[in-house]
Structure 1
Amino acid sequence: MEPLVTLENINKGFRDGESFHSVLNQVNLTLYQGQTVALMGPSGSGKSTLLNIIGGFETIDSGELFIHIDGQKQSVTPWKDKQWSQYRRQYLGVVFQQFNLLTPLNVRDNIIFSLAMNGQKWTPWCDELCEQLDISSLLQRKVENLSGGQQQRVAIARALAHKPPLLLADEPTGNLDQQAGLQVMTLLTSLAKQANTCVVMVTHSQQCADFMQTHLHLHGGSIEHLRNITPLAYE
């Protein structure tokens, strides 16, 4: 498997008055193409911070973050906002707990929006995504009129429409009931496998984590336990 992102001795913290709170301590991690990773741990252990650093939404205090593009390992230390924005548009997909859909638009236009950012158009892959996510009949519906489960499916289609090498998901089933959440996880991991996309997901749910190949546990800002499992079969 080809590496996508490498973190070396990453440290991150914040100040609260005169106090300094460490969030991540000497984190080392490499993510590979097609890999699926569950980030688990108690609240405040640094899961979302680690996810945000991987996506360039937060900066690091020390250490080194490398992005692998076309087989070339690049340090992001000199990157400015423009370079990060270009990277996220081309190589990254994001699924949020709150969906973050564009409510004035319908389903199709929400999906096309992410494609247009890369100068791309609707493709047969988009049709396949919508069919498998069972949203083909909803393409002309305003997203604000959809159920939570339907909105999450649209968010997944939007994130995967351009077949990004890396998908970041922060509690993607947190606003769904158990049955809808497990259905979303089945679809998300199956579609990511088809696109050969690496998925890194923050979750508190062991059931959701069991869909992922690698379980990475954070405690006190450090990787406490790392194990590989056989993920649940795609149905």
Structure 2
Amino acid sequence: MPNSALVSLNSVNKQFVDGNEVHAVLSDCELVMATGSSIALMGASGSGKSTLMNIIAGFEPLNSGKLVLDGQDTSQWRDSDWSDFRIHKLGVVFQQFNLLTPLNVRQNIAFPLSLAQMQWNDWCDYLVETLGLSGLLDRHVAALSGGQQQRVAIARALASQPKLLLADEPTGNLDEQSGREVMQLLADITQQGNTAVLLVTHSEECAAFMQSRLRLVNGQLYDAS
């Protein structure tokens, strides 16, 4: 498996200002994530797990420190650089799905492919079959259950075979069996060495599918393996 650094956070700090109060979320946070690795990110609610993922995805700016993605220092990145990274190298599974409701299931899954100028392929068929979406491709996503929408969101995030997948509680709306199947899929793609996975979860069972565990406490990451 390749071991080059795909994600590197060095002394990253993040605060939110609420009136006259400053709330520190990340304090000199350090993280190195190798290509093809998988990490379960755990911690109490409100500890900053989603904020950390949003910083890596470029949705939230950091206040200080350095974020390096695939060998590139992001401190000088413009919006176009972030867009290029997200289109070609990043997949994200949001807690709220963020599906495109005017579109059907197939169109939602294919959307990141169109951005990357890719076509529907055998990998997409594999995802659809593995995630139990074969009979739903023509259904509008607004008509799906929460669990079905969750599976569409996962297929969409993985469709372009990104180098990095950020998944925020991806099994939260799935039944136990479906949740295990999704976690096995995430474990399998990292074992192939193609996609690194950073998984936010409260579930010890889900965390067990990842190669290592980190716990976010008082703004810093600690080995919880």
TM-score (norm 2): 0.93
- What residue in structure 1 maps to residue 223 of structure 2? 226
Q: Helix, strand or coil: the match of 1:100?
A: coil
- Superposed, 1:142-157 pairs within 5 Å as 142-157=140-155
- What residue in structure 1 maps to residue 61 of structure 2? 59
- What residue in structure 1 maps to residue 124 of structure 2? 126
| Aligned-pair CA distance for 1:191 | 4.0
| Aligned-pair CA distance for 1:174 | 1.9
- What residue in structure 2 maps to residue 77 of structure 1? 75
Amino acid at match of 1:226: D
Q: 1:17-72: per-residue Cα shift (whole Å, max 9, x none)?
A: 2221111011111111111111101122111111111111111111111112xxxx
Distance, in Å, in 1 between the alignment partners of 2:162 and 2:16 is 31
| Aligned-pair CA distance for 1:125 | 1.3
- What residue in structure 2 maps to residue 233 of structure 1? none
Aligned residues: 223
Q: CA RMSD in A?
A: 1.6
- Superposed, 1:142-221 pairs within 5 Å as 142-194=140-192, 196-221=194-219
Q: Does 1:33 align with 2:31?
A: no
Q: Helix, strand or coil: the match of 2:165?
A: strand
Moved more, 50-59 or 182-191: 182-191
| Aligned-pair CA distance for 1:195 | 6.4
Q: Helix, strand or coil: the match of 2:102?
A: coil
CA contact 2:25–2:47 (8 Å) conserved in 1: yes
| Aligned-pair CA distance for 1:202 | 0.9
| Aligned-pair CA distance for 1:204 | 1.1
CA gap 1:54/1:119 in 2 versus in 1, 3 angstroms: same
Percent of pairs identical after alignment? 56
| Aligned-pair CA distance for 1:122 | 0.9
Distance, in Å, in 2 between the alignment partners of 1:153 and 1:39 is 21
CA gap 1:142/1:191 in 2 versus in 1, 3 angstroms: farther
Distance, in Å, in 1 between the alignment partners of 2:69 and 2:80 is 15
Which structure 1 residue ranges, 5 or more long, are not aligned? 229-235
- What residue in structure 2 maps to residue 12 of structure 1? 14
- What residue in structure 1 maps to residue 26 of structure 2? 24
Distance, in Å, in 1 between the alignment partners of 2:20 and 2:97 is 36
| Aligned-pair CA distance for 1:180 | 3.2
Distance, in Å, in 2 between the alignment partners of 1:156 and 1:191 is 13
CA contact 1:129–1:191 (8 Å) conserved in 2: no
CA contact 2:36–2:192 (8 Å) conserved in 1: no
Q: 1:202-225: per-residue Cα shift (whole Å, max 9, x none)?
A: 1111111111111000111111x3
Moved more, 123-132 or 172-181: 172-181
Distance, in Å, in 2 between the alignment partners of 1:43 and 1:168 is 18
CA contact 2:37–2:197 (8 Å) conserved in 1: yes
Which structure 2 residue ranges, 5 or more long, are not aligned? none
Distance, in Å, in 2 between the alignment partners of 1:195 and 1:29 is 19
Q: 1:62-104: per-residue Cα shift (whole Å, max 9, x none)?
A: 1111112xxxx22111111121111111100011122221122
CA contact 1:38–1:214 (8 Å) conserved in 2: yes
Distance, in Å, in 1 between the alignment partners of 2:105 and 2:182 is 17
- What residue in structure 2 maps to residue 106 of structure 1? 104
